[in-house]
Structure 1
Amino acid sequence: MYRIEEPRLGGLRIQEWRRRAHLAVGMLFLVLLGSTLGIELLDHTDAPVSTKTFTAFWDAVNLITTLGDFSDFNADQKIFMLVAILVTVVIAGYALRQLAGMLSGDDVMIFWENRVMEHKLEALINHVAVCPFGPVGQMVAARLRDAGSTVLVLDSDAKQADKASRLGYMVMLGDQNSFDDILARARLDTASTLFLTGSDPNSNLEITLVAHTLNPALQIVVSGENDLRRMLLRKAGASTVIDQNDIVACAMVGQVDAQPA
Structure 2
Amino acid sequence: MPEGAEKRLFIALALLVAILVAGTVMYKVLTGDHYDWMTCLYMTVITLGTVGYGEVIDTSLFPGVRMFTVVLILSGMAIIGYSFSTVTSIMVEMDLGGAFKRRKMNKDISKLRNHFIVCGSGATGTCIVQELLKTATRFVIVERDHARLETLQKLDELLYVEGDATDDDVLLKAGIKHASGLAAALSTEKDNLFLTLTARQLNPSIRIVARGLDENVDQKLRKAGANAVVSPTHIGGLRMASELIRPSVVSFLDTMLRESASTIRFEELHIQAGSRFINHTIKSTKLRDDSNLLVVALKRPDSPGFVYNPSADTVLSEGSTLVLLGESKQIHELRDYSRSTI
* Both structures adopt the same fold (TM-score exceeding 0.5): yes
In the alignment, the residues of structure 1 paired with residue 90 and residue 150 of structure 2 have an alpha-carbon distance, to the nearest angstrom, of 25
**Contact between 2:122 and 2:187, CA under 8 Å: does it hold in 1?**
no
Gaps of 5+ in 2: 1-84, 249-342
Task: Show CA shifts across 1:169-219 (max 9, x none).
Answer: 11111257x843211211111111111223310110111111111101000
Which of 102, 125, 136 aligns to 1:114? It is 102
Matched to 2:160, the amino acid is V
Task: Show CA shifts across 1:54-75 (max 9, x none).
Answer: xxxxxxxxxxxxxxxxxxxxxx
With the length of structure 2 as denominator, give the TM-score of the two structures: 0.43
In the alignment, the residues of structure 1 paired with residue 90 and residue 240 of structure 2 have an alpha-carbon distance, to the nearest angstrom, of 58
Matched, 1:159 2:127: no
Which of 206, 228, 240 aligns to 1:252? It is 240
With the length of structure 1 as denominator, give the TM-score of the two structures: 0.56
Matched, 1:215 2:203: yes
**Contact between 2:113 and 2:179, CA under 8 Å: does it hold in 1?**
yes
Who is 2:116 aligned against?
128
**Contact between 2:160 and 2:174, CA under 8 Å: does it hold in 1?**
no
Who is 1:73 aligned against?
none
**Contact between 2:196 and 2:225, CA under 8 Å: does it hold in 1?**
yes
Task: Show CA shifts across 1:68-108 (max 9, x none).
Answer: xxxxxxxxxxxxxxxxxxxxxxxxxxxxx9xx949834332
Return the structure number with greater relative CO, CA threshold 8 A, min gap 6.
1
Who is 2:163 aligned against?
174
Which of 138, 141, 145 aligns to 1:150? It is 138
Which stretch of structure 1 is more off in the superposition, 190-199 or 231-240? 190-199
Question: Where in structure 1 do 4 or more consecutive aligned residues deviate above 6 Å?
Answer: none
How much identity, in percent, do the aligned residues show?
27
Who is 1:27 aligned against?
none
**3-state SS of the aligned residue for 2:177?**
coil
**Contact between 2:142 and 2:164, CA under 8 Å: does it hold in 1?**
no
**3-state SS of the aligned residue for 1:194?**
strand
In the alignment, the residues of structure 2 paired with residue 151 and residue 166 of structure 1 have an alpha-carbon distance, to the nearest angstrom, of 16
Who is 1:238 aligned against?
226
Gaps of 5+ in 1: 1-96
- Higher helix proportion: 1
**3-state SS of the aligned residue for 1:148?**
coil
In the alignment, the residues of structure 2 paired with residue 241 and residue 200 of structure 1 have an alpha-carbon distance, to the nearest angstrom, of 14
In the alignment, the residues of structure 1 paired with residue 164 and residue 187 of structure 2 have an alpha-carbon distance, to the nearest angstrom, of 17
In the alignment, the residues of structure 2 paired with residue 112 and residue 259 of structure 1 have an alpha-carbon distance, to the nearest angstrom, of 51
**Contact between 1:220 and 1:237, CA under 8 Å: does it hold in 2?**
yes
In the alignment, the residues of structure 1 paired with residue 145 and residue 136 of structure 2 have an alpha-carbon distance, to the nearest angstrom, of 26
Which stretch of structure 1 is more off in the superposition, 113-122 or 154-163? 113-122
**3-state SS of the aligned residue for 1:129?**
strand
Taking a change above 3 Å as real, the CA distance of residues 136 and 108 of structure 1, as seen in their structure-2 partners, is same
In the alignment, the residues of structure 2 paired with residue 240 and residue 161 of structure 1 have an alpha-carbon distance, to the nearest angstrom, of 26
Who is 1:206 aligned against?
194
Matched, 1:140 2:136: no
1:157 positional shift: 0.8
* Alignment length (residue pairs): 161
Matched to 1:203, the amino acid is D
Q: Aligned-residue CA RMSD in angstroms?
A: 2.4
1:119 positional shift: 1.2
Which stretch of structure 1 is more off in the superposition, 158-167 or 184-193? 158-167
Matched to 1:235, the amino acid is K
**Contact between 2:119 and 2:185, CA under 8 Å: does it hold in 1?**
yes
Which of 171, 174, 188 aligns to 1:183? It is 171
**Contact between 1:165 and 1:171, CA under 8 Å: does it hold in 2?**
no
Taking a change above 3 Å as real, the CA distance of residues 175 and 128 of structure 1, as seen in their structure-2 partners, is closer
**3-state SS of the aligned residue for 1:238?**
coil
